[in-house]
Structure 1
Amino acid sequence: MPLAADSPQMTSTPAFDPASATIAIVTYNRSGLLTRLLESIIVMDPKPGHVVVVDNASSDDTTVVVESFRDRLGTELVYQRLETNTGGSGGFSEGMRVAYELGSTWMWLMDDDVEVLPDGLARMGKWAQRFKSIQGRRYDYDGSEFYWQYRLSIPFGIPIPFAPAGFDDSGYREMNSGCFEGMFIHRDIVQQVGLPDPRFFIYWDDSVYGWLASRKTTAVIVDEFVLRRTREIRQWDMGIRHLNASSDAYRYYIMRNRGHMKHYFKVNGSYRPVRFLLGSVLTFAKELVRLVFVERKVRGTSNLWRGVRDGRRIWADASWQPMPPLAEPAT
């Protein structure tokens, strides 16, 4: 059973101070989208104490754009440009590291293709005395409500597609997953879990991190709209749920990274070989459906098979170790 460090009924943290929060943004060659996000932070009320922008070695004008906001953002801006593209996983790992070393109590992670609603931080903050791993809700680019699969089947290692979308009077649902597009997490949990694992590069990194967090505390998704997606993605509308278009890179990593996922499950006593294999088969099948019905093509399966092959190599690596817990920064 997961170890819950607090319960939904227990106040476990002091009153929320917006200045104790840091927004950590990861960006790569999308300065136009980043501009929209930074502009949305200007009009936030309240604002966070820091904004950290991690630039994954962009080749566009990202540096110029970030510097143009330094004197008008209304809060302290930290710009971290990496030498190489480390993917979303490496970017969020670095962003969380910087936020943690700044002494932030709360870390709010997001990609560059969202904007923050003006009262978004206040909406998250009102839950901060009850929970330490919180996910807010998002509007899609067209203004519709975006559904995120907040429950994982751990034995199968896949999201549960029929997890209820609605909320009861409590205003929250317990989750055992995470999404770095909006994860709001307390430094106590970050200290215990460690940083996000950059070895994932992209995909499954936030799911695994959210699951690890849920083993330390009661993790929740709350009925608060705090972000709006700003990038249009081709979708197959399945009612309340959408299946988005993907890419060859995503197809590769979604299969490859199941090797890392297996290791994390095994280290934590949750690996079930037969059911996890079936989950991998279902994941492969889902990506085939995505190719045919969303992207309207059949080419791309070779990337899935390469991912399967390289995932097996990761699983066979006897030297693999999970990310370690963090030490408190020296004062």
Structure 2
Amino acid sequence: MPSGAPAPGAGIDGLTLVIVTFNRSGYLRGLLQSVAALDPAPEHIVVVDNASTDDTAAVLAGIQPGFPVPLSVERLTKNTGGSGGFAAGVRRALGDGAKWLWLMDDDVEVLPGAVSALAKWTGKYDCIHGRRLDETGKPFFWQHRFLPALGIHVPVRGDVFRNSPVFATNVGCFEGMLVSAGVVRAIGLPDSRFFINGDDEMYGWLASLQHEVVYVNDFVLQKVRPQKQIDLGIRHLNDSSDLSRFCAMRNRGHTAGYLRVHGRFNPVGFAAGTALTAAKEILRLLAVEHSLRGAGSLWRGWRESRRILGDKNWQPMSPLGTGSVQDNAATPPPAE
């Protein structure tokens, strides 16, 4: 565990920002502009271009020279999804000597003072999430815990910071997770088999088995991509896509694999969790998107999850240890 809290206003020693982007050059430009204004700033940036077909390459080529923070671009030859992109970016950052990794999607911007706000927690915790605003400037709901018995994360009601500026959790979010290199080496790279949906949740859970995972009462990011959503009182439900719905169900198979490895798999509870996952996605279709088109993706994803559950050769991502950084599970994007 890290020791020695940094001085007020200090940066984070060895901090690398890892951004994964795909066909959203406008959002990427805004994010990088917000990072350029940070003081203190990360020591290095790794942008993973997930085989974008828009003008992302040209935008990065124009920004890279003279950017105030050293910026490296890792361009992939195929779209490996968020999980594959973060696996590639984390591998690159560790290979370049990162001590801390700040994992970030491309549709957010960082708020002034974000690095120093997070720095004050790095002397005590190894996996830290700051708070976020939505695109309207209101607090963005993110307070969950993972229930291994069901294999799902559930929202925590109320003001989790009422009595403390730290909320202990056991899930992760790649929209701003700050994680130490030691944790990454202990649990491995993000599992690229997830493609999207659930990869960060599982990564946070794996981290929580050995380290404290926390959500702190410091606003550090703002979401800038508008989404259709409804307020359910205990959480917000956003719009989605057929690919995300497919992966939400398909990745139940990978989640079960991790629960089995760690002796936490309950077949009856997990089946109930799968039914709740499907019900949530159907509610999302009806209440947010006002259509049942897309329900077929849930069925296809569930069938694929059954195949994964029956795969006797399934293995988790391996720890990286202290040796060379390697990719343990590079897989192609899922096909529907």
Query: What residue number does 2:269 align with?
Result: 275
Q: CA RMSD in A?
A: 1.5
Q: Aligned equivalents of 2:95 and 2:5: distance in 1?
A: 22
Shift in Å, 1:237: 2.0
Query: What residue number does 2:298 align with?
Result: 304
Matched, 1:13 2:6: no
Q: Partner amino acid for 1:280?
A: T
Matched, 1:321 2:315: yes
Query: What residue number does 1:285 align with?
Result: 279
Matched, 1:252 2:242: no
Question: Please, which runs of 5 or more residues in structure 2 have no aligned partner?
Answer: 325-336
Shift in Å, 1:15: 4.4
Q: String of CA shifts for 1:100-150, please: whole Å, max 9, x gaps.
A: 111111100000000011211111111000100111110001111001133
| Number of residue pairs aligned between Structure 1 and Structure 2 | 321
Q: Aligned equivalents of 1:192 and 1:155: distance in 2?
A: 24
Match of 1:105 among 93, 96, 99: 99
Query: What residue number does 2:237 align with?
Result: 243
Q: Aligned equivalents of 2:104 and 2:166: distance in 1?
A: 20
Q: Aligned equivalents of 1:237 and 1:181: distance in 2?
A: 20
Q: Does the CA contact (< 8 Å) of 1:27 and 1:55 recur in 2?
A: yes
Change in Cα spacing, 1:85 to 1:106, as seen in structure 2 (3 Å) is: same
For the residue of structure 2 that corresponds to 1:33, the secondary structure is helix
Q: 1:117-136 counterparts in 2 under 5 A? A: 117-136=111-130
Match of 2:209 among 211, 215, 218: 215
Q: Aligned equivalents of 1:218 and 1:25: distance in 2?
A: 24
Question: Please, which runs of 5 or more residues in structure 1 have no aligned partner?
Answer: 1-5, 7-11
Matched, 1:159 2:159: no
Query: What residue number does 2:41 align with?
Result: 47
Query: What residue number does 1:231 align with?
Result: 225
Matched, 1:91 2:85: yes
Q: Partner amino acid for 2:30?
A: R
For the residue of structure 2 that corresponds to 1:212, the secondary structure is helix
Q: Aligned equivalents of 1:273 and 1:22: distance in 2?
A: 40
Q: Does the CA contact (< 8 Å) of 2:13 and 2:99 recur in 1?
A: no
Shift in Å, 1:258: 0.3
Q: Aligned equivalents of 2:155 and 2:72: distance in 1?
A: 38
Q: Aligned equivalents of 2:292 and 2:321: distance in 1?
A: 48
Query: What residue number does 1:3 align with?
Result: none
Q: Does the CA contact (< 8 Å) of 1:19 and 1:47 recur in 2?
A: no
Q: Does the CA contact (< 8 Å) of 2:155 and 2:234 recur in 1?
A: no
Matched, 1:68 2:55: no
Q: Aligned equivalents of 2:59 and 2:223: distance in 1?
A: 20
Q: Aligned equivalents of 2:159 and 2:148: distance in 1?
A: 20
Q: Partner amino acid for 2:34?
A: S
Q: String of CA shifts for 1:277-306, please: whole Å, max 9, x gaps.
A: 001001100111000000011111110000
Q: Partner amino acid for 2:69?
A: T
Match of 1:172 among 166, 177, 181: 166
Q: Partner amino acid for 2:322?
A: E
Query: What residue number does 1:116 align with?
Result: 110
Moved more, 105-114 or 66-75: 66-75
Q: Aligned equivalents of 2:99 and 2:313: distance in 1?
A: 33
Shift in Å, 1:169: 4.2
Shift in Å, 1:161: 2.4
Q: String of CA shifts for 1:78-121, please: whole Å, max 9, x gaps.
A: 10000000000100111111111111111000000000112111
Change in Cα spacing, 1:13 to 1:101, as seen in structure 2 (3 Å) is: farther
TM-score (norm 2): 0.92
For the residue of structure 1 that corresponds to 2:144, the secondary structure is coil
Query: What residue number does 1:9 align with?
Result: none
Query: What residue number does 1:78 align with?
Result: 72
